[in-house]
Amino acid sequence: MTNEDDRDRGVLSTADRQFIRSPEEYSRQGTYERRTAIHERTANAVLDYPLLVEFEEYDSVLDEVDRGLVDGLKAQIEFVYKMANEAGFHAEELIDDAVEEAKASRIDVLRRRFESDPESLTLGEYSDLYVAGELSEEAYQEVFYETIRQPIGRVDSEEDGVFDEVGGALGGESVNESENESEE
C-alpha cells in the first residue's frame, strides 16, 4: 500500500491523518479544530453509505485499491461495531441485518442480470440464484450440465467420487454409470 499521506482524501484529510497519528503536535485550538472536522466528516460519511450501497460499483473500486483494502474493510466493520455499541444499539444484530440486506440486494442484482443477459452470469452466480429460490432446479441443472463437462482423459479414482456426488445431487447419472454404459 502507498504511504498513507501520499493518497487522496477519503473520509479523512491528510491533516486529519497526521493529527490522529501525532495529536501532541497540535495546539489546544488546533486539536479542537481537527477533532470537530473529523467528527463532522465521519458523520457525513456514515450518511453517505446508503448512497454508496446504491452505487453498486464495488468491482471498479476493488480494481483501484491494493491489498490494504482488506485491513480497511476490517477496520470499517470494527468502527461500525464500536459506534453502534456506543450509541446503544446491538452491534451484532445491526451487522447481521446489514449482511442479510446485502445478500438480498445481490440476489436482486443477479436476478436482473439473469433476465437481461443470462450468459453474463458465472456458474457460482447461477448457484446463488438457485439457493435463493430464484431459479428452478431444472434451469439450474441445464446450466450446470452445459457448463460442467466430463474431464478429457482419465479420471482418477479419487476424482471419480466427486463427479458421482455432483451428478447424483443434480439427479443425473454418475461417471461410473455413464462409463459402464459405454463399455457395454
pLDDT tens for residues 15-29? 899 999 999 999 999
Is 176 a member of any domain? no
3-state per-residue secondary structure call for the chain = CCCHHHCCCCCCCHHHHHHHHCHHHCCHHHHHHHHHHHHHHHHHHHHHHHHHHHHCCHHHHHHHCCCHHHHHHHHHHHHHHHHHHHCCCCHHHHHHHHHHHHHHHHHHHHHHHHHHCHHHCCHHHHHHHHHCCCCCHHHHHHHHHHHCCCCCCCCCHHHHHHHHHHHHHCCCCCHHHHHHHHHC
Pair (97, 44) in one structural domain: no
* Domain-embedded: residue 12: yes
Segment 90-108, tens digit of pLDDT: 999 999 999 998 888 889 8
* Mean pLDDT to the nearest integer, 62-88: 81
pLDDT at 173: 52
76 to 50, 66, 87, 108, 125: CA distances (angstroms): 15, 16, 16, 25, 27
Total residue count of the chain as it appears in this document: 184
Residue 49 has pLDDT above 80, yes or no: yes
Average of pLDDT values for 45-54? 83
16 domain-assigned: yes
Return the CA Rg of the chain: 25
Q: Domain of 128?
A: 90-152
Give domain status of residue 69, yes or no.
no
Whether 123 maps to a domain, the answer reads yes
Is the pLDDT score of 183 beyond 60? no
Asked if residue 85 is part of any domain, the answer here is no
Residue 11: inside a domain, yes or no? yes
Q: Is residue 60 part of a domain?
A: no
Query: What total number of domains does the chain contain?
Result: 2
